[in-house]
């Protein structure tokens, strides 16, 4: 018999699949986001805007279904919304890093040109 104060008590209205997803939802969302970010990085067809649109749809789906009577549906929608938002963060960070690297190359090129043109020694 499981006592009511036990952390192992089962909430009414839940399913074993829903409880399994709930226990692993952060890990699942992170892995889905990581895979999606890699797909976007290596694919020419999927862009950061695709990920942003998918995230908006996922969040709207979660907002519409968060009061669902089905525990399983709530868990799936939560994982979907969080994974898409994490993918947006990953893709955005990748975009920022890319532009930071490009900016750095340009700055160093100008510094190099300035050094060469301002060098007083003639060859």
Question: pLDDT tens across 46-55, in order?
Answer: 778 899 999 9
Task: Average the pLDDT over 34-58 and give the result.
Answer: 87
Q: Is residue 69 part of a domain?
A: yes
pLDDT of residue 6: 47
pLDDT of residue 9: 57
Residue identified by tokens 């969302």 is 29
Q: Report the domain count for the chain.
A: 1
Judge whether 9 and 66 are in contact, CB under 8 Å.
Answer: no
Q: Is residue 92 part of a domain?
A: yes
Q: Which domain holds residue 85?
A: 16-118
Task: Average the pLDDT over 36-44 and give the result.
Answer: 85
Residue 18: C-alpha distances to residues 40, 101, 122, 123 (Å): 29, 43, 76, 75
Output the average pLDDT for the chain.
Answer: 85
Q: Is residue 2 part of a domain?
A: no
Q: Is residue 86 part of a domain?
A: yes
Reply yes or no on whether the pLDDT at 4 is more than 50. Answer: no
Q: Is residue 10 part of a domain?
A: no
pLDDT of residue 7: 54
Reply yes or no on whether the pLDDT at 44 is more than 60. Answer: yes
pTM listed for this prediction: 0.73
pLDDT of residue 42: 85
Q: Is residue 8 part of a domain?
A: no
Q: Is residue 57 part of a domain?
A: yes
Q: Is residue 82 part of a domain?
A: yes
């Amino acid at each position: 018999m499981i006592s009511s104060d036990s952390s192992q008590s089962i909430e009414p209205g839940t399913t074993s699949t829903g409880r399994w997803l709930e226990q692993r939802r952060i890990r699942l969302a992170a892995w889905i986001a990581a895979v999606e970010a890699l797909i976007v990085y290596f694919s020419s067809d999927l862009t950061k805007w695709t990920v942003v649109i998918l995230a908006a749809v996922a969040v709207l789906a979660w907002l519409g279904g968060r009061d669902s009577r089905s525990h399983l549906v709530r868990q799936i929608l939560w994982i979907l919304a969080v994974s898409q938002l994490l993918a947006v963060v990953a893709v955005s960070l990748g975009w920022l890093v890319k532009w930071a690297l490009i900016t750095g190359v340009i700055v160093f090129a100008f510094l190099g040109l300035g050094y060469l043109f301002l060098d007083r020694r003639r060859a």
